[in-house]
Each structure stands twice: as structure tokens, then as C-alpha cells.
Structure 1
Amino acid sequence: MLFLVHMIVNIPASLPADEAARVKAEEKEYSQKLQREGKWPHIWRVVGEYANYSVFEARDNDELHTMLSNLPLFPYMQIKVTPLARHPSSIH
């Protein structure tokens, strides 16, 4: 199943800079692992925001929830998930 995921990140200013840097590094490592595995095939930055739109491929809602909740930045994210289905006019 494909899912469109909109993530908005809001790291609190009270989080120490070294802790924020550590969490961001862990986030990058984990997200790139999911990308290499084909579970996170697309990620686009939203210009001017600390946000992205991504496409995830997951077996089901539970697998997607596990992937998202394991993101190191998850506690600082607002996430909206939209399940996707093939469009009948698509040539792919």
C-alpha cells in the first residue's frame, strides 16, 4: 500500500543544541535506511518550512505506524497520512 505522508517538524527551542543535533543525525540514518529498503521511495522538502511530503510503501496501516513512530523526530512531529490508490487514468 502507498501512503502520502505530510510531516511538520517542530523541535522546541528548549531542547539543547547537542541533543537536537544527535536526534537529527539519528533521523537521517533511519530515514535513509528505509529509503534503501524501498519503504520510503519519495521525500520532498516543503520550501521555507521544516516539513516534507513523502510517499511510503507499507504492507498495512500497522507497518506504516511502526515506521513513523520509530522516527527519532517523531515526538516533535505533526503527521498527516493519506492512503493512496491507483488512478484509473494513470498510464503506469
Structure 2
Amino acid sequence: MLFLARMDVTFPESMSDEVKAEFTTLEKEYSGNLQREGKMQDIWRVVGEYANYSVYDVSDNDELHRILSGFPMYPYMKIKVTPLAKHPNAIK
């Protein structure tokens, strides 16, 4: 099953730059593993925002929830998920 997820990150103003940098390192490792496993098919930055769009290929809603809630920044994320279906006009 394919899903599109938009993730917006908002850190508390009181969070130090060092802690933010640590989260960034952990996120890169986690998302890299998901991409290598084929669970995260694509990831795109939203220009001018601390946000991204990602495409996930997972077996069901529960697997997607486990993946999303496993992100180190999850407590600071607002996530919107959209299920995807093949468009009849798609040529690939």
C-alpha cells in the first residue's frame, strides 16, 4: 500500500542547538534505513519550511503507524497521511 505523508517539524524554542543537531543525525540514520529497506520510496523537502513529503510502501496502516511513530522527531511532528492509488492515466 502506498501512502503520502507530509511531516512538519516544530521544536520547542527552549531546545538547544546541540539537541536539535542530535535529532537531525538520528533522523538521517532512521530515514536512510527506511529508504534502503524500500519502505520509504521517496522524500522531498518543502521549500522554505521545516517540512517534507515522503512516499511509503508498506503492508498496512499499522506498519505505517509503527514507522512514523519510530521517527526520533515524532514528538515534534505534525503528520498528515494520504492513501494513494494508481491513477488510470499513469504511463508507468
Could you say whether these structures have the same fold, taking a TM-score greater than 0.5 normalized by the shorter chain as the test? yes
Secondary structure of 1:12's counterpart equals coil
Return 5+ residue gaps in structure 2 as ranges: none
Secondary structure of 1:88's counterpart equals coil
Deviations, residues 49-89 of structure 1 (Å, cap 9, x unaligned): 00011101110000000000000010000000000011112
State the match for 1:79 in structure 2: 79
1:6 aligns with 2:6: yes
Greater Cα offset, 12-21 or 75-84: 12-21
State the match for 1:89 in structure 2: 89
Amino acid paired to 2:80 = K
The TM-score, its normalising length taken from structure 1, stands at: 0.96
4+ residue stretches of structure 1 with deviation over 4 A?
A: none
Amino acid paired to 2:22 = R
Task: Give the alignment's Cα RMSD to 1 decimal.
Answer: 0.8
CA distance in structure 1 between the aligned counterparts of 2:3 and 2:55, rounded to whole angstroms? 6
CA distance in structure 2 between the aligned counterparts of 1:71 and 1:11, rounded to whole angstroms? 14
Share of identical aligned residues, percent? 60
Q: For this pair of structures, how many residues does the alignment match?
A: 92
Secondary structure of 1:41's counterpart equals strand
1:20 aligns with 2:33: no
